[in-house]
Amino acid sequence: MSEPGVLARRTAVTVRLVVPDGIDDPGHPSGGNVYDRELATALRALGVDVVESPVAGRWPRATAVSDSALVRALAEVPDGGLVLVDGLVGLGCPHALEDEQRRLPIWLLVHLPLGLEDGATSQTRADERRALLAAHGIVTTSAWTRRWLLATYALDPERVHVAHPGVRPARLATGTPHGGHLLTVGAVVPAKGQDVLMAALAELADLLWVARIAGPVDRAPSFVSRLRGDADEVRLAMRVRLDGPLTPTALAAAYAAADLLVLPTRLETYGMVVTEALAHGIPVVASDVGGVAEALGAAPDGRLPGVLVPPGDQTALAAALRRWLTDPAWREDLRGAARARRDELTGWPETARRVRDALTGPGRRHGRPPAGVSA
């Protein structure tokens, strides 16, 4: 007798993937965009027919125009068609999901809950809760996010699944003897904490290091200007590079040249840059926030491939970096742990299998309506 779900997996499945327009724009890279693109590719490799529906808008800030675009995208799906909506698009437009929840099994892919962001209003959380309740199911990209959603919105745990981001195999970074090539990857915005890094580096001016900050610099212009001013004030401008977004090839080269990934973030539901660094065997110093510890993981022998510090704590970050730069034995131990952890990382095919199985498991595709909807 076949195992439950085997028939569903063998049957041809079509998934309509609703994503923000411009997910392939090299000038605006993000972890969510990478996840969506890699997921679509890996699902197709598993035999799933993925139909992409890009929806234009300044997501997650919904407008009348973008709302209408999402409504049209869902209206185009045939009755009973399986839909996976990126949370960046769907979490702020609950009415679009509610209007179609009887006709379509709609799933939400939640990278970052809107209610988690600094300054989120009660209306934002109310809309997000409506969207989550309208969905037939939810896929999160970390167990931490799942726990946050369950605790915040009192959702049915059986409806919320986890599919961690995968990582592509990468060449091992050899590192330098002094360990002074520091790399930070992410949009240059307050939430990512580059100002904390700059303050910590100002305490390390007596040591040998250079820092490279790679990521979009057009999302918070005043914050970027302040960073540049701070670097000039403490005479670090020649040692800190703000590169802007890098192409995939250039980013791979940046990892290959790095000794240490530094992630001073204030808000992170997982931290794909952490696993990308570990794929190169690069240790990590990061904020202990959200799902970062989940991404960091541990080597098979239990050693941590990096160090976690309190978010926003420049003193703790500076202390961790100082030890990294001045303690060769500790540095080599962390490198060994990172290389061991590298062998434990899973790829995007595993992510796609988890998403496919969540969407097509027994009773899930055409199961009971979500909470609040009568059968």
pLDDT by residue (tens digit) across 140-171? 999 999 999 999 999 999 999 999 999 999 99
Cα(first)–Cα(last) distance of the chain, in Å?
A: 31
Q: Residue 78, exposed/middle/buried by CB under 10 A (0-12, 13-18, 19+)?
A: exposed
Q: What is the pLDDT of residues 291-306, one digit of tens each?
A: 999 999 999 999 999 9
185 forms beta bridges with: 214
Same domain, yes or no, for 152 and 189? Answer: no
Inside any domain, residue 264: yes
Inside any domain, residue 320: yes
Inside any domain, residue 59: yes
Same domain, yes or no, for 284 and 355? Answer: no
Same domain, yes or no, for 161 and 23? Answer: yes
163 forms beta bridges with: none
Same domain, yes or no, for 148 and 242? Answer: no
Which element (helix H / strand E) includes 196? helix 194-202
Indicate if the pLDDT at residue 197 is higher than 70: yes
Same domain, yes or no, for 219 and 242? Answer: yes
Inside any domain, residue 367: no
Inside any domain, residue 173: no
Same domain, yes or no, for 244 and 99? Answer: no
Coil, strand or helix: which one is 347? Answer: coil
Same domain, yes or no, for 309 and 230? Answer: yes
Same domain, yes or no, for 333 and 187? Answer: yes
Inside any domain, residue 368: no
Inside any domain, residue 1: no
C-alpha pair distances (Å), 260 with each of 80, 159, 211:
48, 38, 10
Single-letter amino acid, residue 264:
P
Same domain, yes or no, for 79 and 211? Answer: no
Is residue 155 within 8 Å of residue 138, measured between CB atoms?
Answer: yes
Same domain, yes or no, for 302 and 327? Answer: yes
Same domain, yes or no, for 227 and 194? Answer: yes
Q: How far is CA 6 from the centre of its chain?
A: 30
Q: What's the rounded mean pLDDT across residues 298-326?
A: 98
Host domain of residue 22: 6-166+348-360
Q: What is the CATH number of the domain that holds 242?
A: 3.40.50.2000
Which pTM does this prediction carry? 0.92
Q: What is the pLDDT of residues 249-295, one digit of tens each?
A: 999 999 999 999 999 999 999 999 999 999 999 999 999 999 999 99
Number of folded domains in the chain?
2
Same domain, yes or no, for 306 and 333? Answer: yes
Token reading at 235: 């005479």
